[in-house]
C-alpha cells in the first residue's frame, strides 16, 4: 500500500518479518520523466511483493526509475538489483559502497567479535543468522557515487545529500530546503533508537553519530521522514532525546564495569535491552551480535573520553574504568 505524503511524494511500508524493526519506509517520488525510490527492503520475496504492489498502485514504470540508498544495511539495499532496470541509476554513498567491494568479507567482523569475547562456537551461527549476510543484494549493484553536498533532483524536489556518519560510516540523509523536508534514513528515528555499533577500534561510531546529530540540529525542518516506523515528531527535540539516551547508555556501561575488568560480550550481557527475553542466554544469536556491537560502540566512546582504558595485549580485549 502506498501513502501520499506530499505532492508526488509517497511512502510504501515494506514488512521486515522476524526483525525488531518490523518494517521499512520506502519513499517514492514520481516525476514527469524519471522517478526516484529511496530505500528498498530486504532481498526477500515478502519485501519484493510489497514493493511491487505499492509501485503498481502508483503506476510506476521501473524502466524510468532511479534509486537512492541511504546506507549499506540490507533492509535498505537488499532489493535494489531486483527492482532496478538497465537504465536505472543507483545513488549511494562513496564510503558505504566499499562494503560491496569484491575483497570485502565478513571474516574481519567475525575475528573482531571473537577478540571481544563473543563465544567462538557461536560465531558461525551468528553470521548465518545475520540479516545482512542473508538478505543483501545477490549481485553487486552499479552505483552512482554520492558525496556530502551532492544534489538529486526529481519530481520538483531538490534533495541535498548530507553525510551523517554514525549508524554507518557512509550514512546519507536528504534535505529538501524549500519544502523543509528531511529524509533521515536510520540517522533519526522516532519510535525506536537508531542502532549504533562498532566493529573496528579505528572507528568511534558513537562520537561520529553525536557529531552528525549536531550537524543537522539547526536545519529548518517541518517534516522528518525516517527509515522505520512513524514520522510524527520534531527534529530538534528528538535529537535532544537521542543524545541523552546515549549518554545514559554510556553511564550504564560504566555501572556494569564497576571496578571489574571485562570484555565487551560480558558487558553487553550486563546491559539492559528492550527485548522480550528473561535472560541474556535467551537472546536470539543475532540480537547478541547487535548488542555486543552496540556495547563496543559505547566502550570506544568512553575510551575516547578518557573514562575507560582498553587492554588489547591479550587474546581477548578487556576494558576497565580509569580511576580519577
pLDDT value of residue 55: 97
Round the average pLDDT of the chain to a whole number and report it.
93
The DSSP bridge pattern shows strands 90-93 and 223-226 to be unpaired
Locate the domains of the chain by residue range: 2-134+144-321
Place of cell 540490507: 74
pLDDT value of residue 62: 96
- Of 54 and 110, the one with more pLDDT: 54
pLDDT value of residue 103: 58
Question: Average pLDDT for residues 143-171, to the nearest whole number?
Answer: 97
- The angle that helices 285-304 and 205-216 make with each other, rounded to 10 degrees, is 80
Of the candidates 228, 244, 136, the residue with the CA atom closest to the CA atom of residue 184:
228
Provide the percentage of residues in the chain whose pLDDT is more than 90: 80
Please tell me the CATH superfamily of domain 2-134+144-321, with its number: Ribonuclease Z/Hydroxyacylglutathione hydrolase-like (3.60.15.10)
Question: Average pLDDT for residues 71-97, to the nearest whole number?
Answer: 96
The CA distance from 10 to 3, in Å, is: 5
Of the candidates 279, 12, 300, the residue with the CA atom closest to the CA atom of residue 166:
300
Question: Average pLDDT for residues 61-76, to the nearest whole number?
Answer: 96
57 phi, psi to nearest 5 deg: -60, -40
| pLDDT tens per residue across span 98-153 | 988 765 567 788 889 999 999 988 888 887 778 777 888 988 899 999 999 999 99
pLDDT value of residue 324: 67
Place of cell 506530499: 6
Q: Is the pTM of this model over 0.85?
A: yes
| pLDDT tens per residue across span 268-308 | 999 999 888 889 999 988 899 999 999 999 999 999 999 99
Decide: 207 and 301 in contact? Cβ < 8 Å. Answer: yes
Q: Dihedral sign, CA of 98, 99, 103, 109?
A: positive
Q: Is 1 a residue whose pLDDT tops 80?
A: no
Give 36's strand partners: 29, 66
pLDDT value of residue 134: 85
Decide: 233 and 224 in contact? Cβ < 8 Å. Answer: yes
- Of 136 and 171, the one with more pLDDT: 171
pLDDT value of residue 50: 97
pLDDT band at residue 216, thresholds of 50, 70 and 90? very high
Amino acid at each position: 500500500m502506498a501513502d501520499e505524503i506530499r505532492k508526488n511524494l509517497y511512502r510504501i511500508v515494506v514488512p521486515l518479518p522476524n526483525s525488531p524493526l518490523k518494517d521499512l519506509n520506502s519513499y517514492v517520488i514520481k516525476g514527469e520523466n524519471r522517478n526516484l525510490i529511496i530505500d528498498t527492503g530486504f532481498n526477500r520475496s515478502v519485501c519484493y511483493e510489497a514493493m511491487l504492489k505499492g509501485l503498481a498502485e502508483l503506476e510506476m514504470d521501473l524502466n524510468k526509475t532511479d534509486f537512492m540508498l541511504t546506507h549499506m544495511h540490507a533492509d535498505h539495499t537488499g532489493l535494489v538489483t531486483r527492482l532496478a532496470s538497465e537504465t536505472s541509476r543507483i545513488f549511494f554513498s562513496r564510503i558505504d559502497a566499499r562494503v560491496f567491494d569484491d575483497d570485502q568479507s565478513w571474516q574481519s567482523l567475525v575475528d573482531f567479535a571473537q577478540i571481544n569475547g563473543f563465544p567462538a562456537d557461536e560465531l558461525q551461527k551468528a553470521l548465518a543468522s545475520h540479516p545482512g549476510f542473508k538478505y543483501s543484494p545477490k549481485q553487486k549493484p552499479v552505483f552512482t557515487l554520492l558525496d556530502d553536498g551532492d544534489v538529486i533532483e526529481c519530481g520538483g524536489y531538490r534533495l541535498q545529500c548530507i553525510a551523517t556518519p554514525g549508524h554507518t560510516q557512509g550514512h546519507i540523509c536528504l534535505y529538501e530546503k524549500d519544502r523543509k523536508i528531511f529524509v533521515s534514513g536510520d540517522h533519526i528515528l522516532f519510535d525506536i533508537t537508531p542502532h549504533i555499533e562498532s566493529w573496528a577500534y579505528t572507528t568511534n561510531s558513537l562520537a561520529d553519530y553525536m557529531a552528525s546529530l549536531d550537524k543537522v540540529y539547526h536545519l529548518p525542518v517541518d517534516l522528518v521522514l525516517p527509515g522505520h516506523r512513524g514520522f510524527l515528531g520534531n527534529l530538534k527535540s528528538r535529537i535532544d532525546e537521542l543524545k541523552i539516551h546515549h549518554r545514559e547508555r554510556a553511564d550504564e556501561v560504566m555501572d556494569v564495569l564497576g571496578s571489574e575488568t571485562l570484555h565487551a560480550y560480558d558487558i553487553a550481557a550486563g546491559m539492559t535491552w528492550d527485548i522480550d527475553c528473561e535472560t541474556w542466554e535467551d537472546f536470539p544469536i543475532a540480537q547478541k551480535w547487535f548488542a555486543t556491537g552496540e556495547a563496543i560502540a559505547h566502550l570506544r566512546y568512553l575510551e575516547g573520553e578518557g573514562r575507560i582504558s582498553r587492554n588489547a595485549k591479550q587474546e581477548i580485549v578487556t576494558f576497565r574504568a580509569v580511576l580519577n
